[in-house]
Amino acid sequence: MTHDTDAGPATPPAKDARRRFWDTVDVVEQDGGYVVHLDGRPVRLPGKALLWVKSHALAQALAREWAAAGQGAKGGLFTPADLPLTRIAGTMIERIAPDREATVDALLRYADGELLCYRATHPATLCERQAAQWTPWVDWLRERHGITLRTTQGVMPISQSPQAMEGLAALLRGYDDATLAALGVIVPAMKSIVLGIAVVTGAIDARRAAQVATLDERTQMEIWGRDAQQEAMLALLEREVVEGWTFLDLARKG
C-alpha cells in the first residue's frame, strides 16, 4: 500500500471487497480544480493519476462516496462498485482524456446495433409501443442533428449509412471529456446511442430514457408475468443510466 489511495478496477467482482482504512475525507483545491483526500492523502486511480476534477460540485459528490464507503466507518468492507462516480471520473481522467478518439470509436460501434432501429414483428402490442415510443427519438435525431438512421423489422443486422456514421462521429467529437465519460456508461447500458445523446443533451430524462430502452422487456413481463431476475436487471440498467447523467450534471455545475 502506497501513501496514495488506489481507487481500484472499474468493474470489480464481490470477492474484491476491501476494508476501509481511512477516517477523514476532504476536498482540496489544487491546480485550478479539486482533489479528494483520505486522511490528508490524495486518492489516486489505477494508473496513478490523481482523482482531480474541475467541478467543485462533482468533487464534493466524489468525497461523499468515499465518506460512505465501508458503511462510513474505518474497517468496513467496500468495493469500487460502491464508488460509481469515482469510476466514471477515473475513466474520464485515465482513458478518455489521453485518447478521445478511442472512446468515439467505441461509442460508434453501437450505431449498427442501435436498439431503436430493430423493430419487432409481433406481438401487435409491442409493435405499437415501439412505434409510439421509439420512432419519435429516431425522428428527433434526424430533425435535431441531421442524422438519419435506417430501421428494420426483425433481428437481421443492418448497417447505417456512411453519412449517418460521419454525422454521429462529428457529434461525439464535439462533446467534452465529461460528456463522453457519461455516454460511455449510458450508451452501453441502454444499447442505444440515440437515447444516450438525448440524455446528455437534456432532451429526455435519464429515468425516462431507461424506461424507453427497456420497453421490450417490460412488455414481455406484462404478457408472460413478472420475473424477479429480469426486474433486477432493469433496475441495474436504470441505475447505471442515472449515474451517468448524475456525473455529467455535477461536472457541468462547476
d(CA 191, CA 64): 30
Confidence of residue 7 (pLDDT cuts 50, 70, 90): low
Please say if the pLDDT value at position 138 is more than 70. yes
What's the longest Cα–Cα distance across the chain?
61
What does the pLDDT look like over 199-215, one tens digit per residue?
Answer: 999 999 999 999 999 99
φ/ψ of residue 144, rounded to 5: -85, -40
The phi-psi region of residue 216 (left if phi > 0; otherwise alpha if psi is between -120 and 50; otherwise beta) is alpha
Q: What is the pLDDT of residue 91?
A: 98
Q: How far is CA 51 from CA 72, 108, 185, 191, in A?
A: 20, 28, 18, 29
Per the confidence metrics, is the pTM higher than 0.85?
yes
Q: What is the pLDDT of residue 2?
A: 36
Q: What is the pLDDT of residue 3?
A: 36
pLDDT over 90, % of the chain: 88
Identify which of 215, 218, 217, 214 has the alpha carbon closest to the alpha carbon of residue 237.
214
- 29, three cell numbers: 483545491
Mean pLDDT to the nearest integer, 154-168: 95
Residue 123: cis peptide before it, omega within 30 degrees of 0: yes
Identify which of 130, 136, 145, 147 has the alpha carbon closest to the alpha carbon of residue 204.
136
Ordered structural domains, the chain, with CATH: 5-96 (3.30.2180.10), 100-253 (1.10.3580.10)
Q: How far is CA 107 from CA 49, 61, 104, 116, 134, in A?
A: 24, 26, 5, 15, 20
